[in-house]
Chain A
Amino acid sequence: MIEKTTPSRVLFNILNYGFMIFFAFICLIPIWHVVMSSLSNPRLLMASSGIVWKPLGEITTAGYELVFKNKSILTGYGNTLLYVIWNAAVGTLMTVIAGYLVSRKDYKLKVPLMLFILFTMMFSGGLIPTYMVIRSLGLINSRWVMMIPGLMNAFYITMIKSGFEQLSDSYEESAKLDGAGPMTIMFRILLPLMKANVAVVVMFTVVMQWNSWYPASIYLPAVRDYWPLQLFMREMLIQNDTAAILTNADANSAADFTSNLVKYCVVVVGTLPVLCAYPFAQKYFVTGVTLGGVKG
């Protein structure tokens, strides 16, 4: 399309590009601030106020050394990894099975099962009744509370269902002719054809689980050994209690200065993996959001 260049057009373009640059800048500043602070001299960092544009004093990795020697943070990291991998693997598997079931045309329970699942999207018991069910199952303060209750949800199941439904029936029919059972059809024939849908579910699960803190905070109040990283971060950043985490490091004189530095280092260590990975997975998030919007 050929564009006419009028003065108002030029002005609009300048403003529009200017605004976009400004907005991108606003999005990046806090992240930049954290990364630069994490490399700064802790004493200067304590004294500074405002955005840290470049590392204060000599660049130091002292904070990171403390982080990687710290038992709490390593525990948190290990737990987060466990919960993320488990939920991405087992949760996606269950979601795929559920999605497969509600996409079978020749299955009598297809419609009732779908309604049964969809209803959970419309109405939920809420926080307290759910808490009581989980407590009566003896899951409070157990590792399993992070690994069972969040495995499936109606939203991802619908996403997988529509993926199965988009595939042509002929794949399934020819597989049936060759004598394949439902498991073989699902896992060996159909699933490889819808890698993209599965990837969407895996990506969302990974990010949500990595960043999740709320369930752990109510279901794992007493056992620090099972805490995900986000809870340790909450203790440092929100409750401003670095002592609990830094006790076994050098608790005395240096801790006053380093605690501030360690905060930033923990944020970097806890956030950067996702931030670095997501541009490569971006298209899956876009697909997911679009599917979600269409489906409601």
Chain B
Amino acid sequence: MLEALMKIFGKSEKSSKEIARDRLKVVLIHDRANISPEVMEHLRDDIIKVISNYMEINQHDMEISLANDDDSVALVANIPVQKMKHSGKK
């Protein structure tokens, strides 16, 4: 009913190419986020290096992953902190 009304008043739905473009953009975010375990390992090492300048962390219990949501991808890290360093960067 609402759809029919919108059609009458010229507020038509998205064109099929707009739907295609939007679907593609979302699916490519997911496709491109599928990074290899090696790259993930490098990323993990780099993160440890940076964070260790400021605090002592428990490297064994830390978790890093990419979380896929409906229309976005987030880098989620859970890094247990053991001790803060006093002076920040050494």
A and B physically associate: no
